[in-house]
Amino acid sequence: MRAILKTTNPVVLNFAEVLLADAGVQSVVFDGEMSIMDGSVGILPRRLMVSDEDFARAVGLLHDGIEGYRRP
């Protein structure tokens, strides 16, 4: 698995998850529970992970769907 997105913005994270899911790309959020460690302030980024096989396609989908997207 590879990180396709790192963000502290839950809206961007959710949008990226839905965008990938609609295209049939399975993704998993890592570090989602880390907010407990930072006191729920949201300063620790969450990582959106995809399989190695889907990585190139996912990059293209996010590039087209999220303005200003840069690969982590």
> What ranges do the domains of the chain cover?
2-65
Query: Does the domain formed by 2-65 have CATH 3.30.70.790?
Result: yes
**β-pairing verdict for 46-50 and 2-7:** antiparallel
For residue 35, what pLDDT is reported?
60
pLDDT of 19 reads 95
Contact at 8 Å (CB) between 8 and 43? yes
Query: For residue 47, what are the β-bridge partners?
Result: 6, 30
Tens-digit pLDDT profile for the chain (72 aa)? 999 999 988 899 999 999 999 999 999 999 877 766 655 566 788 999 999 999 999 999 998 888 777 766
- Predicted TM-score (pTM) of the model is 0.81
> C-alpha angle with apex 22: 71 to 66, nearest 5 degrees?
35
Q: What is residue 39's predicted lDDT score, i.e. its pLDDT?
A: 58
Give how far Cα 42 sits from Cα of 35, 51, 63, Å. 6, 26, 24
Residue 2 pLDDT: 96
